[in-house]
């Protein structure tokens, strides 16, 4: 293991360099060890064993096959995840070791997209974290979470905050940790992933940012200190904004408070990888979210119908945040 990283509070060691992660000095111990492009000899035996289907994903691909299958091997203590494109991950149930393999023409970069997204979300879940499907930005000494369904603008809004000089904690996954009455939002890795239309909106050209992988059109905004910053330490979560669909008029963004019961339902629907939770994990998640909405305000945001008004959306969120927190927000 010659490459060392940190993400979501975990020390990671890998046999190959992992694009996008924050490098750290070599350490004597790792929370997670990663092998990319290889698998242990005994893994071939797992592929031949009749095993319990832990999860069979939908929708199906063009050939009628599920996009993701997960097999559980309780006696061996491992899980096997196979995507429809042939990318495979094997990890232990303690989420301390993971192996990844892929098929040509896919690349290491393609596999890392899986690893830093759903695979890492699953790793955090196995380790007991509750994760919101959200991005988080630092405003003052607090974190604001931007949650919502797919294509509601979580990453785009986080990138807009980054353009203003606000540090980004994480994109797509916000790992929560409770410390007494405080909830901390974890620090992920120094990238915000964006589709070309969002790149065009923010940068004036859909090709202004590098692609995540040659085989996919999605791009990334590097948080490399060039006016854009990465928040490396977790921060107390001050407020959660749930982004909704754009309204049919240009009346400007609308922000409304959700009562605790509605907030709880909204957050349950916006947790990450919730389809992989067992009964015990679901109960733990529900208890944490119930405690969260009792202490952290949850707002529903209806953006302007015009995506180009992204700066007005940021202004509205900042103004609202000032009204509900005593932290200095600038």
pLDDT > 90 in the chain, percent: 70
- In order of their start, the domains of the chain are 3-126 (no CATH), 130-324 (3.40.50)
Please check whether residue 20 is in contact with residue 190, taking contact to mean a CB–CB distance below 8 angstroms: yes
Half-sphere exposure of 216 (CA within 13 A, CB side): 17
For every residue of 221-281, DSSP letters joined together read EE-SSSS--B--S-EEEEEEEEE-PPPSS-S--EEEEPPHHHHHHHHHHTBTTGGG--HHH
Report how far apart, in Å, the C-alpha atoms of 48 and of each of 80, 95, 287, 307 are: 12, 23, 39, 50
Q: What is the pLDDT of residue 315?
A: 94
Q: What is the pLDDT of residue 328?
A: 39
* 43 confidence band (pLDDT: 50, 70, 90): confident
* 327 confidence band (pLDDT: 50, 70, 90): very low
Please check whether residue 121 is in contact with residue 167, taking contact to mean a CB–CB distance below 8 angstroms: no
Q: What is the pLDDT of residue 60?
A: 60
For residues 116 and 295, what is the distance between their CA atoms, to the nearest angstrom?
Answer: 29
Mean pLDDT of the residues in the chain = 90
Asked if pLDDT for residue 287 goes beyond 90, the answer is yes
Q: Look-up: residue for tokens 């923010």? A: 202
Q: What is the pLDDT of residue 329?
A: 46
pTM: 0.91
Q: What is the pLDDT of residue 54?
A: 83
Range with lowest mean pLDDT among 52-66, 209-223, 301-315: 52-66
Please check whether residue 15 is in contact with residue 30, taking contact to mean a CB–CB distance below 8 angstroms: no
Asked if pLDDT for residue 59 goes beyond 80, the answer is no
Q: What is the mean pLDDT of residues 13-23?
A: 94
Phi, psi for 286 (deg, rounded to 5)? -60, -45
Instruction: Count CB-CB contacts under 10 A for residue 197.
Output: 12
């Amino acid at each position: 293991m010659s490459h060392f990283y940190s993400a979501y509070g975990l020390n990671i060691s890998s046999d190959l360099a992992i694009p996008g992660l924050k490098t750290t000095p070599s350490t004597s111990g790792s929370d997670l060890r990663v092998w990319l492009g290889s698998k242990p000899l005994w893994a071939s035996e797992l592929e031949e064993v009749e095993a319990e289907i832990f999860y069979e994903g939908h929708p199906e691909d063009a050939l009628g096959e599920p996009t993701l299958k997960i097999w559980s091997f309780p006696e061996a203590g491992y899980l096997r995840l196979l995507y429809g494109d042939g990318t495979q991950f094997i990890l232990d149930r303690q989420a301390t070791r993971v192996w990844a393999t892929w098929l040509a023409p896919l690349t290491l970069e393609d596999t890392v997209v899986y690893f830093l997204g759903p695979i890492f979300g699953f790793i955090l879940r196995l380790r007991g974290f509750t994760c919101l499907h959200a991005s988080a930005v630092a405003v003052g000494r607090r974190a604001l979470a931007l949650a919502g369904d797919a294509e509601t603008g979580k990453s785009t809004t986080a990138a807009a905050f980054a353009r203003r000089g606000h540090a980004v904690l994480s994109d797509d996954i916000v790992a929560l940790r409770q410390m007494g009455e405080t909830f901390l939002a974890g620090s992920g890795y120094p990238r915000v992933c964006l589709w070309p239309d969002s790149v065009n909106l923010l940068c004036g050209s859909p090709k202004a940012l590098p692609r995540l992988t040659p085989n996919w059109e999605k791009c990334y905004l590097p948080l490399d200190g060039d006016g854009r910053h990465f928040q490396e330490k977790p921060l107390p979560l001050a407020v959660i904004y749930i982004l909704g669909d754009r309204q049919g008029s240009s009346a400007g963004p609308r922000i409304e408070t959700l009562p605790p019961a509605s907030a709880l339902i909204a957050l349950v629907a916006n947790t990450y990888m919730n389809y992989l939770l067992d009964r015990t994990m679901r109960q733990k998640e529900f208890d944490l979210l119930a405690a969260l909405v009792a202490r952290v305000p949850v707002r529903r945001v209806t953006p302007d119908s015009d995506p180009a008004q992204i700066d007005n959306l940021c202004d509205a969120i900042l103004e609202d945040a000032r009204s509900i927190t005593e932290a200095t927000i600038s």
